[in-house]
Amino acid sequence: MNQLEWNPKHTALLIVDVQNDYCHKEGSLAQQDLDVSMVEEMMPNLKNMITSMKEINVPIIYIQTIHEDSTDSETWIKRLKGKNQKNLCRKDTWGAKFYQLEPDKDDVIVIKHRYSAFINTRLDSVLRALKIQTLLMAGVSTNICVESTARDGFMLDYDVIFLSDCTAAFSREAHDMTLQTINQFFGTVATSKEVMISIPAVLVGSEG
């Protein structure tokens, strides 16, 4: 692939919906017979990515889905199509807590109630305040909440680097389809290794 172009001073790592109900084998979606095995594959890569980004002072922004009666519109509930997911990421439940990750006190947590982290949240305000121009996208699921957030970010004029090995879907086919779509229309798909390899070059470039 071409040399990645990003400036650590103007980049944030967005970690979308890495929560028990989406990722844990005893979470709500696994109990609905969705395959969460890809999560275990990507978690070591994501943890390494978090460490690497902290070393160069790239902000870490955790996106957390919280569902409650006050945000459950009739239209939003219809997305379930009769499936028993009423308890998915409900406020103050184990399922809504982060999975294998613990944000540091200087990390940012943005609460969302829809697929995209830009819809009716403070995310855009946070990114503008931090002077962010590039989004490193990670989390679950690749083809739903991560993709929705990446698309909206692109259309709000953020550059998107979509981390193929720090994202997970409930099927390999859905994951791969999103990577193809993002890379063709909404940003650049890269592995965490490719991003890490580019760090020395981008650090030199950011000094100019």
Tell me the catalytic residues: 17, 112, 145
Q: Which two tokens stand for residue 9?
A: 């001073």
CA trace torsion 26, 97, 49, 182 (10° rounding): 80
Give the separation between CA 166 and CA 45, rounded to whole angstroms: 6
User: What's the CA dihedral at 128, 132, 135, 141 to 10 degrees?
Assistant: -40
For residue 193, what is the enclosing H or E element? helix 192-197
Q: CA-CA distance, 118 to 152, in Å (whole number)? A: 7
12 and 54 in contact (C-beta within 8 Å)?
no
